[in-house]
Amino acid sequence: MTVQLDARPPVAPKADNPRPSWGRLSRLDTRFSPYLYIAPFFLIFGVFGAYPLAYTFWVSLHDWDLLGTNHPFVGAENYTRLLADTDFWHALVNTLGIFVISTVPQLLAALWLANLLNRGLRARTGWRMAVLVPNVTSTAAVAIVFGVLFGREFGMINWLLDLVGVDAIGWKSNRFASWVAISAMVDWRWTGYNALILLAAMQAIPRDLYEAAAIDGASRVRQFWSVTVPLLKPTIIFCTIIATIGGLQLFTEPRMFHSGTNPIRGGPLRESQTLTMYMFENAFAPHYNFGYGSAVAWLLFALIAIVAVLNVLILRRLGGGSGPNGRKGAAR
């Protein structure tokens, strides 16, 4: 089962010999039609991407009460206040913390799963489909179920811990514990997805490399670390980028993890409040300060841009170093 991930559209063969009667029209056609064909994307991007982005920036320069009718211009005040706002930095640390402790185990587990699925198993397709099941469940449903599992007094996790003599953990009011609980949720959902992508890349590795390694006396473990992993590098980086984008925008899982009064805080001391939650808290209840919330949105955008650039730099370094197979692998 090979997955074709090449997203480039098939190129239409160039009409070499247009009918003479069309002349000028045909030339205009070849010149402008391509723009017409790609226009829908740019139109939709303009309406749903660029315009909201610009409007959010405009809003962030104002003292904008969500319900109010007057929105005085305040310049960069929202931004200067935000940079001095300890709750903002706190949310940033939460976001990065949850990102790290969810992504690292997630990719390791995915790699291990993919390796297992790459072997000659019985009912192989069944297993491969099964790992994707968590990914098709509703995030909100998952979060509510996990929220109950990680309950302080009635939760199943604490009950199990109690059986082995560990004291109850306040999963929702301990900063690190709540990060772990939310990471578990994210990993449950995304490990299978990443495993399938890694599996597809694994299958593109030529068999003869393994045969050669086996003849040289390399064990299976050695083959995995010296043949499989290096050739998977571009795919691993791809998975990391996808996980970065998802991780920095994490909202539904931590939001639904908490219930009761003001769940948007992510715990009484904002233990697991992510940046998107902080944005929501300011733009909507209880502050209804749309300008301040928009400023959070823009700083989040800047943060993602910075991380994306870092990703590209790392990609260039690693992708370039993996030999002639690197580019080929990157396209898969």
Partner 1 sequence: MAVLPRRRLAAVALAATTALLVTAGCGGGDEPGDGPVTLTVDVFGQFGYEQLYQEYMAANPGVKIVERGTGTNLDEYSPKLTQWLAAGRGAGDVVAIEEGLMVEYKANPGNFVNLLDHGAADLKGNFLEWKWNAGLTADGKQLIGLGTDVGGIAMCYRKDLFEKAGLPTERDEVSKLWPTWPDYIATGEKFVAAKTGASFLDAATNTFNTILLQTAGNSDGYSYYDTSEKLVVDSNPAVRQAWDTTMDIIDSGLSGKYGSWSEEWVSAFKQSKFATIACPAWMTGVIEANAGTAAQGKWDIARVPGNGGNWGGSHLAVPKQSKHQAEAIELAKFLTSAKGQIGAFKAKGPLPSSPQALDDPAITGATNAYFSGAPVGSIFGSGAKSLKPVYMGPKNQAVRTEVENAVRTVELGQRSPAQGWTDAVTNAKKAAAK
- Residues interacting with partner 1, by CB under 8 A? 10, 12, 65-69, 144, 147-148, 151-154, 170, 172-173, 258-265, 268-269, 282, 284-290, 292
Name the 3-class secondary structure at 65. strand
CB neighbours of residue 124 within 10 Å? 13
Residue closer to partner 1 by CB (options 138, 261) is 261
Residue closer to partner 1 by CB (options 44, 212) is 44
**Residue 157 CB, nearest approach to partner 1 (Å):** 13
Residue closer to partner 1 by CB (options 234, 291) is 291
Phi, psi of 167 (to 5 degrees): -65, 155
Residue closer to partner 1 by CB (options 57, 63) is 63
**Residue 314 CB, nearest approach to partner 1 (Å):** 36
Phi, psi of 289 (to 5 degrees): -100, 90
**Residue 95 CB, nearest approach to partner 1 (Å):** 20
Residue closer to partner 1 by CB (options 111, 256) is 256
Residue 115 in tokens = 């390796």
Phi, psi of 130 (to 5 degrees): -60, -35
Using CB atoms within 10 A of its CB, is residue 87 exposed (0-12), middle (13-18) or buried (19+)? middle
CB neighbours of residue 86 within 10 Å? 8
CA 99, CA 266: separation in Å to the nearest integer?
16
Q: Which residues of 156-174 are buried (b: 16+ CB within 10 A; e: fewer)?
A: ebbeeeeeeeeeebebbeb
- Gyration radius from the chain CA atoms: 25
**Residue 67 CB, nearest approach to partner 1 (Å):** 4
**Residue 12 CB, nearest approach to partner 1 (Å):** 5
Residue closer to partner 1 by CB (options 22, 45) is 22
CA 188, CA 168: separation in Å to the nearest integer?
23
**Residue 263 CB, nearest approach to partner 1 (Å):** 7
